Amino acid sequence: MSQRPRPETICVHPPEVPESASRPLSPPIHLSAVYKIAGLDQIDALYEGGDSGYTYRRDGDANSDLLAAKVAELEHAEDALICASGMGAEAALFLATLSAGDEVALSDNLYGKTVALVGRELSRFGVGHHFFDATRPESLKRVLTPTTRLVFVETLSNPLVRLADIAGLAEVAHSSGASLAVDHTFAPLLCRPIEMGADFVTHSLTKLIGGHSDLILGLLAGPRERIARAKAITSAFGLAGNPFESWLALRGVATLGLRSQRACATALRLAERLAGHPGVKHVHYPGLSTHPDHACASRTLEGGFGTIATIDVGGRPEADLLIRSLTGIPFAPSLGDASTTLSHPATTSHRNQSPDQWARQGISAGLIRLSFGLEDPDDLWDDLKQALDRLG
86 touches ligand PLP by CB under 6 A? yes
Residue 226 CB, shortest distance to ligand PLP, in Å, is: 20
Based on the shown chain and the rule CB under 6 A, indicate whether residue 85 belongs to the binding site for ligand PLP: yes
Residue number of the CB atom closest to ligand PLP: 86
Footprint of ligand PLP on 312-331 (CB under 6 A): none
Residue nearer to ligand PLP on the CB measure, 85 or 97: 85
64 touches ligand PLP by CB under 6 A? no
Asked whether position 218 contacts ligand PLP by CB under 6 A, the answer is yes
Residues linked to residue 128 through DSSP beta bridges, in sequence order? 103
The DSSP symbol for 121 reads I
Give Cα 7 to chain centroid, integer Å.
Answer: 49
CA angle, 163 then 340 then 271, to 5°: 50
Q: How many CB atoms are closer than 10 A to CB 354?
A: 8
Distance CA 90, CA 87 (A): 5
Are residues 178 and 97 in contact, defined by beta-carbon separation less than 8 angstroms?
A: no
**Complex with ligand PLP: residue 147 or 348, whichever CB lies closer:** 348
What residues from 340 to 379 belong to the interface with ligand PLP (CB under 6 A)?
Answer: 349
Which x/- pattern over 164-183 shows residues binding ligand PLP (rule: CB under 6 A)? -------------------x
User: Would you say 63 or 204 has its CB closer to ligand PLP?
Assistant: 204
Provide the residue count of the chain.
392
Round to whole Å and give the CA distance between 187 and 306: 6
Q: Is 245 in the site for ligand PLP (CB under 6 A)?
A: no
Strand partners, 311: 283, 368
Q: Name the segment binding ligand PLP (CB under 6 A); options: 83-91, 131-139, 249-257, 291-299.
A: 83-91
CA 11 to CA 31: how far, in whole Å? Answer: 19
Q: Which of 63, 135, 179, 206 touches ligand PLP by CB under 6 A?
A: 206
CA atoms of 9 and 56, how far apart (whole Å): 24
User: Where on the chain is the footprint of ligand PLP (CB under 6 A)?
Assistant: 85-87, 111, 154, 158, 183, 185-186, 204, 206, 216, 218, 349
